[in-house]
Amino acid sequence: MNFPGQDKEELLELKQLLKEYRVLRTEQLYRWFSDKDRRVVGNMLSYLRRGGQLVSDPSGSLLALNEPELKKGLDEKRIAAFWVLAGFADRVEYHACGEYPVQLFFFMAGEEYEIVYVPYGNEGMMGALFSQREQSGTHILVIVETPEQIETLEIPGADWFCTVANDGTIQRYLQEESE
């Protein structure tokens, strides 16, 4: 791979992100590489597209490594979790997809974090799942669809709750302790 003025490691990292998460929004990759000039990230994407190593939807807003993955479409829960992860990109040591109910997990400063998505109406089920888990010191970041869900959620060890808009805007909430 010959990409003038660009580290091959960043191209490999970009491809690894798409391999791990299947389909991402183009803006998510810009946010992940936010320490780089947008033109540099755009050039990396163009380079991979021209080389047949990257495909996009007609609008250019969704990216995948190949057509079959792109046709499967978005996993909105994972997309929301990736927006949260991207906010920590410069400090993340390792990250990967998780298993239900965890959308993805990552390590930062030697500590483990899990990002969980709670669909509206599933608060009781999620609370039951997490109340059965052994407390491990893992930080839990919870994505909800509406702030009203937070009042009914009981997830031991949850550090914070948030909503994630389609454009990646994250609104964080702390759970108030009941007395």
Distance CA 61, CA 101 (A): 27
Q: pLDDT tens digits, residue range 46-72?
A: 999 999 999 999 999 999 999 999 999
Q: What is the pLDDT of residue 3?
A: 59
Q: Does the domain at residues 76-173 carry the CATH identifier 3.40.50?
A: no
**Reported pTM:** 0.91
Q: pLDDT tens digits, residue range 4-22?
A: 555 788 999 999 999 999 9
Does residue 178 surpass a pLDDT of 50?
no
Q: Please give the CATH number for the structural domain made up of 8-72.
A: 1.10.10.10
Distance CA 65, CA 53 (A): 6
Q: 23 - beta bridge partners? A: 64
Q: What is the pLDDT of residue 174?
A: 81
Confidence of residue 39 (pLDDT cuts 50, 70, 90): very high
Domain segments of the chain as ranges: 8-72, 76-173
Distance CA 1, CA 18 (A): 18
User: How far, in Å, are 67, 85, 143, 168 from residue 79 at the CA level?
Assistant: 18, 10, 11, 9
Q: What is the pLDDT of residue 176?
A: 63
Q: pLDDT tens digits, residue range 84-141?
A: 999 999 999 999 999 999 999 999 999 999 999 999 999 999 999 988 887 788 999 9
